[in-house]
Chain A
Amino acid sequence: MGKQVPLPAGVYNLDDLKDFGRRKGWCPYYLARYSILHANIIVYSYHYLLDPKIADLVSKELSKKSVVVFDEAHNIDNVCIDSMSVNITRRTLDRSQANVETLQNTILKIKETDAAKLKEEYRRLVEGLKEANVARETDIYMSNPVLPDEILQEAVPGSIRTAEHFVGFMKRFLEYLKARLRIHHVVQESAPQFLKDIFEKVCIDRKPLRFCAERLRSLLRTLEIADIADFSAITLISNFATLVSTYSKGFTIIIEPFEDRTPTIANPVLHFSCMDPSIAIKPVFERFQSVIITSGTLSPLDIYPRILDFRPVTVASFTMTLARTCLCPLVVGRGNDQVAMTSKFETREDFAVIRNYGNLLLEMSAIVPDGIVAFFTSYTYMENIVASWYEQGILENVQRNKLIFIETPDAAETSMALEKYQEACENGRGAILLSVARGKVSEGIDFVHHFGRAVIMFGVPYVYTQSRILKARLEYLRDQFQIRENDFLTFDAMRHAAQCVGRAIRGKTDYGLMIFADKRYARADKRGKLPRWIQEHLTDGSLNLTIDETVQLSKHFLRQMAHSIHDISNCNVQCFCQLNLSQEDQLGLSLLTLEQLQSEDMLQKIAQIAHQA
């Protein structure tokens, strides 16, 4: 009890902690939370810092002097937005209703047995959230965007101070939401509009709404409810109430009575959607001295400070220092019949385009060893193309060269396909994985070495632009940050494309082809948005190629790479260990010794590279 036992120094992941906890008989959850405060380096997912609900538990006590590094930060804006957005369906409301009833019963019970407890809570609420305020002012904790500054100075308003009143208040709020969901057309409104409407209809003021989240938490604590998970629905509603009443800007409310694809089935959803990623990341910038945002595919760089609303101290873009040119980006624009290849909406169903895409895959399957990964712009697009390739007999011919595995919407099925794909690459048969940009494979799976010798990107992976949430966000970006719609969409598409093709190169010993199969990649506005390490190798000679030219260039590249970089004279020995670049080959280029790293020359060189950006 309360004993301080040092954790042996070392590197722990969750499994290790679990193991350690099991051996000692300690709860691994609290062990993890405890050790976070004592660790030198913590590696965790963004949500632990950006999502206020989690950050409040896990990360708020981190020291001000900590250095925060957001690695792989190319998607950071989406994470920020996700952590602040709320969706309310009918199911959520039903479950909240049940929660409220449970609360009511518990309050009644506790009133009979332990009324003092509720009184004590009431007294605390009168005093207000002094503690939190003191803590924030003395800068102990990181601030919480769901806990706005204003409410810290004030006491919880009288209308929701007693437990029964609060439950009544929540009931009313739920009824209002239910009524809002009973609509037959799409409604989009801003937060102030929503507040005005709620005041007019059910006389709920802005102020008590703002305290909702805090008040519910206090109540749950007082009632000593152990199983918080059961109350996730009502917590969601209270968080929504607080957010909607706190932020008048940066959020939008969209109520959709049904899904676009299925207009006959009523499935009303209230999207409370965050438009402004800077809201979630603001506390991080405010609290920590150094925040580093970095990724291999963070490009163009200048857009990130704008959408995250911060002033960068240093901006630098680095190329890859490679001991050899191990990547070969090619933009294929035309088929052998000179028909342009593109996934543009107007021509994507075009027979010739699909056939040319198929021929490209077929040709590549014949010359690339081991694994090929191909990405499509969306799942439905892939389904259609696969079907027509099947009808045209292209896939049959591809099968002569390699096995074919295809990503499906089902994660378990895809995992199996992935494993089999790797098995096929491993045993020398070679395989092709057809997959989807923005899918699970494109984000989470690495195709090292022979698992991905070529990546083919069929089309430009633009996001589905017809969604209302996206439209609202684009509008907001235009109005607030002066970012043009098209710029943002292209930026978003290119970062996903770069993400996909980057799957093949996972280290300096790796090598792979990157084939961009869309003529639009050759345009300056698209090309310019690729990360520098890809752009650098994208010469004018590798733009707008036909399939035949691509095959020739690829053959040449693959043959070169298959040799070791040592020399050709004793290549029959080297072929077997082609991937083992020795240290001497890399020293000074992609590998630095400590002395080299500390030497004046190298520091200067690094500074020079950084300033080029």
Chain B
Amino acid sequence: MAALSEEVLLVVKRVRQRKQDGTLYLMAERIAWGPEGKDRFTVSHLYADIRCQKISPDGKAKIQLQLVLHTGESTNLHFSNESTALKDRDAAKDLLQQLLPKFKKRANKELEEKNRMLQEDPVLFQLYKDLVVCQVISAEEFWANRLSINNVDHSLSNNKQEVGISAAFLADIRPQTDGCNGLRYNLTSDIIESIFRTYPAVKQKYGENVPHNMTEKEFWTRFFQSHYFHRDRINTGLQDIFSECAKQDEKGLKSMVFQGVKNPMVDLLSLEDKSLDEGYGSNSTAPSTSNTNKTVKENSNSAIIKRFNHHSTMVLAAGSGKKADAPNGQACETSSTDGNSRDSDFFQPPIKKVKIQDVIEYEDLHRENGKKTVALNLKKSDRYSHGPVPLLPQQYTTSQDIVNSVNCIKQEIASYKPCLTQVMSSSTASCAIAALSPGGVLMQALAQQAINQMVPNDVQGELKHLYTAAGELLRHFWSCFPVNTLFLEEKVVKMRSNLERFQMTKLRPFQEKVQRQYLSTNLTGHLEDMFQMAYNKFHAWQTRRMMRKT
């Protein structure tokens, strides 16, 4: 039983529904009721489906709880345990009160989304009207595969686009002298956000210290006093809470450097063409990298340069979102890259190759070969518009036959002698000519374009709607094949009845209407064909199933 895996929040025994005793379960996502002695829920509502709950007035003898759904249906629950009925009901009510708002938001969102889609897409709206409002298929069925399509971009559009960080956010905190030997810094929440996103270490410190150890104001005061904020972070004292941040930044930068670059075209390490052995060359005296012989000023200068690189990198990373926590997650990441470094030999060449290819290829040296389009080559255009037709016994004429008959006709024409005595009257002749010219009785097949002139616009529109609706239904129907699950089996049966219903309620009236006005043209022939095709398929499937069963 599926319910077992769910978390049951509340169980209320002796609750009656439709005069049947049973147990009420409140679970994490739904509320359910099962009759006594059966392990099956006969009532089950997702919280998201519930619009509101109503309770019976206090004085009433029957202590009830009513759940009203978005669809308008309602379920009455009667708490029948004499002694504790009121308490039970209130417990259930309170819990629902807590739970419903959570799901309401989601439900509303979903509804909004549906609403939005319907408003934005008139075709969909029409389809909705045709199928759901006329109860050909249920709303859930209608939305079932629409929402899933839209869920992806739905979540995207829902996600607020993140705003990048200005590179100069530190410059924006212009300190102002307040007149009495102090500085005032103006911090806005934006700037704080920027600082946190750029320097996760500071955020961590903030989390650690505020508000247990110091107030927010104190924290920022210290931050601005700290050398961490000031440029040459060399003399960060030990007592400074930010000295650790500086170290952490350093570590982050180092590990980023250690990870190396992905683009081989900018990798200076690999670019270095070191064909000279050690000791050869005119200026191979390696620059001493030890810091001991550097002056303090030089050290602070290079610290500034490092800081700028780090700052820019972090701002960039914060902008691109996902990498914002790179230096934090470094510790675990480095180990994984370590393992990869051996394989990198295998993975590198393709990237390199692609990059090099990019660099050496000139677009304008390519021959212009136009846009490649795939020509649709229809051998039998009727097949394209009607779908595959079962092979009927047909009379084929071989090419030899055709050639022979053409020859025959040629001969006959060559040897044609007009028999002037046996001509028809001029009136009959002109009649025949009229019948054979375009628009005439015999040439009606050629006058297809006339159809949009013959049929008034409102009928055309209606036909269009019918087509989209029928197409949607048929899509549902055909998507069930191959029928390999129980669910699909049910669905295919349902869809067939849906199709029949549609044919009865929508197509027939239209046909009758058309027939009343235009006897000659068969507008719905193709639609009927499609339905027939579906029925045939269904029939075939059913007989096969029956055969398998017996």
Contacts and interface: CB of A to CB of B under 8 A. Distances in A.
Given A15-B352, A586-B364, A51 B262 contact: no
Contact of A92 (B167, B279, B305, B353): B279
B386 interface: no
B279 A233 contact: yes
B298 interface: yes
A240 B178 CA distance: 71
Given A409-B287, A415-B267, A419-B263, A383 B168 contact: no
Given A406-B309, A418-B266, A469-B283, A400 B275 contact: no
A129 B424 CA distance: 119
Interface in A407-439: 408-420, 422-424, 427, 429, 431
A11 to B, nearest CB: 10
Nearest to A229: B277
B260 A415 contact: yes
A87 B306 contact: no
B239 interface: no
Interface stretch (B68-76, B81-89, B95-103, B314-322): B314-322
A438 to B, nearest CB: 11
Contacts of A54: 275
B6 interface: no
B261 A82 contact: no
B306 A581 contact: no
Contacts of A47: 273, 275-276
A82 B315 contact: no
Which of B276, B277, B305, B362 has the most chain A CB atoms inside 10 A of its CB? B305
B304 interface: yes
A417 B257 CA distance: 9
Most buried by A among B164, B315, B356: B315
B309 to A, nearest CB: 5
Interface in A201-241: 232-233, 236
Which residue, B171, B306, B309, has most C-beta atoms of chain A within 10 A? B309
A586 B168 CA distance: 43
A53 B258 CA distance: 34
B260 A383 contact: no
B285 interface: yes
Contacts of A509: 363-364
Contacts of B349: 15, 19
A179 interface: no
B455 interface: no
A424 B316 contact: yes
Interface string B337-375: 000000000000100110010010011110010000000
Contacts of B267: 415
Contact of B285 (A269, A404, A429, A591): A269
A408 B305 contact: yes
B280 interface: yes
B126 interface: no
A54 B260 CA distance: 30
A393 interface: yes
Interface size class of B (residues with CB under 8 A): 35 or more
A274 B281 CA distance: 9
Residue from B257, B320, B353 whose CB has the most chain A CB atoms within 10 Å: B257
Contacts of B320: 423, 427
Nearest to B171: A396
B300 interface: yes
Interface residues of A, number: 82
Nearest to B289: A409
Given A396-B170, A408-B306, A262 B293 contact: yes
Interface string A440-474: 11001110100000000000000000010100000
Interface stretch (A1-9, A186-194, A384-392): A384-392
A233 B279 CA distance: 8
B316 A440 contact: no
Contacts, number: 189
B468 interface: no
A261 B263 CA distance: 36
A303 interface: no
B282 A420 contact: no
B282 A81 contact: yes
Nearest to B367: A583
B231 interface: yes
Interface in A28-59: 45, 47-48, 51, 53-54
B275 A45 contact: yes
Contact of B308 (A82, A236, A395): A395
A410 B275 CA distance: 20
A399 interface: yes
B301 interface: yes
A85 interface: yes
B282 A581 contact: no
B272 interface: yes
A416 B261 contact: yes
A17 B164 CA distance: 45
Contact of A418 (B261, B276, B319): B261
A138 B521 CA distance: 99
11 contacts: A85-B280, A88-B279, A274-B282, A396-B168, A397-B168, A412-B260, A412-B268, A415-B268, A420-B309, A431-B312, A445-B265
Interface of B: 164, 166-168, 170-171, 231, 253, 256-258, 260-263, 265-269, 271-273, 275-285, 287-289, 293, 297-298, 300-302, 304-306, 308-309, 312-313, 315-316, 319-320, 349, 352-353, 356, 359, 362-365, 368
Question: When A and B form their complex, which 4 residue pairs have the shortest distance between CB atoms, in order from nearest?
Answer: A396-B171, A47-B275, A399-B168, A403-B312
